[in-house]
Amino acid sequence: MGGGLLAESGSRPVLRRVVFRGNSAAAGGAIAIGFASVARLEDCLAEDNVSHGTAGAFEVHDGGELFLRDCLISGNTGGSGGALGIAAGRIEAEACTLVANQAEFGGAACAMSGTLILRDCWADGNSAAMSGGAVMLTSSSAQLSSCVIDSNLAAAGGGAVYAYDSTVEIIDCLLTRNDAGSSPDSRGGGVSCSFSALTLERCTLAANHGLPGAGVWTDGEAPATLNRSILALGLGGAAVQGPPGANASASCCDVWGNHDGDWVGLLLGQEGLNGNISLDPQFCGEENAGLPWSIADSSPCAPAPSGECQGIGSGPIGCGASSIEGNGPFAWVPGDRPAGDPSLPLPRRVRNVSVFPNPCLDVTTIQVRLGFARDSHVPIRKRSRFMTWPDARSGRSLAGCGPMMTSGRPKFAGMAAMSMAGPRPRESTGSKPPVTRTERRGAPARSFLSDHDHPPAFSECREGEGSA
């Protein structure tokens, strides 16, 4: 167990900036944590690890706990959970990227009799030979908040999430272009629930494929509650479906443009009640290539037009007059509602920015989304080197040159320090300028982000390679 690290019997390992690459084990290709042990990993990379039993990368069992922050987990292969696996344990991941992992069940994560919490994470391009393109749950509880779950594939149901005998809360999340497959069991392009309670709050489900249930499938054995969410452009089936006798309740939802119907199936009779509508949400698409699922300022789902619903869906206002002139609440970071007023101080910690490609040997592209459209600058630190672009504006893609190397080897995503500094508030209090929030939509790479005034010091990476 644990091709790179095994922690049991109350161990408390803490790892920062460590690489786990090319390891293999029967359980936990990179790490296995169990028997009351608690592990913490920050700014780590796990790639190309393999386990044919449980998780391809990180596995917890028998009361083990794992806390992840700012980690990239890519290209791993497992039996239950391509990246993360839980068997009677707990995993919490914050600001992590799970990309191109694969497994029999749960392309990115699989929980059995455990707890899974994902905050501000991005799961993209994961695949499951059976159920749960991104997440598979059995007799477990899960909370996904402020996450992006995009372009995942399951062969037999639950393009993004599959839950059996579980409790699932999905809050402030974007679920797009997930595919539940083409088999007779390909239910729920976004979410498939069996004997499971589902809560969708302030989410956007768009262009997912499932038949039946382009957006959601539930068998009705436990409640399905949808609030302030968008279900649009679903492929294959209707927006929300289930067997006879099942039911789902919706309030302040926009259900529109789904292949087999909108307010039909389990949503029949709810259109026009409790703030529910069926109108084009006006996604920005090509008008904002960095945020294609953001909405126009004239959208019926925007805060003002939606009235008492106070905004529908997870996305920001990403196009229209407000986003250009900077006088509307168009900037968004998962988990935070737009402030609108650019004079308000913003938190100094920033996390989300698109860097592609990363690692970078020559040229990289940085795409940023500011909280306002006034001048800002983007300093990039590669070891001791800074590159600065003045007059960077919201939504612009910036290109810079320079090697990103350590001892002649490319650095992996997570080793570049980056921050954004914005203008001072209108009424200066003598404090330092606020660091703006940023938005990422584009590449599976992630940068380690820090305050502009205090860029982090780097330590050399230690690689965990081996087999068990």
Give the side-chain half-sphere CA count within 13 A for 366: 28
Please state whether beta strands 209-210 and 462-464 pair in parallel, antiparallel, or not at all (unpaired). unpaired
The whole model's pTM is what? 0.73
Cα separations (Å) of 332 from 235, 251, 295?
A: 27, 23, 11
Six token digits for residue 421 = 């500094």
Contacts of 289 (CB under 8 A, 6+ apart): none
**Where exactly are the structural domains of the chain?**
1-126, 130-340, 354-449
The answer to whether 355 and 365 have CB atoms below 8 angstroms apart is: yes
User: What whole-number percentage of the chain has pLDDT above 70?
Assistant: 68
Q: Which residue is listed with tokens 């913003």?
A: 346
Q: What is the pLDDT along the chain (468 residues), one digit of tens a residue?
A: 899 999 999 999 999 999 999 999 999 999 999 999 999 999 999 999 999 899 999 999 999 999 999 999 999 999 999 999 999 999 999 999 999 999 999 999 999 999 999 999 999 999 999 999 999 999 999 999 999 999 999 999 999 999 999 999 999 999 999 999 998 889 999 999 999 999 999 999 999 999 999 999 999 888 899 999 999 999 999 999 999 989 899 999 999 999 999 999 999 999 999 999 999 999 999 888 778 899 999 999 999 999 999 999 997 888 876 543 222 222 223 333 333 333 333 332 333 344 444 444 444 444 443 333 333 333 333 322 223 333 333 333 333 323 332 233 333 333 233 333 333 333 333 333 333 333 333 333 333 222 222 222 222 223 333 333
Q: How many CB atoms lie within 10 A of CB 358?
A: 23
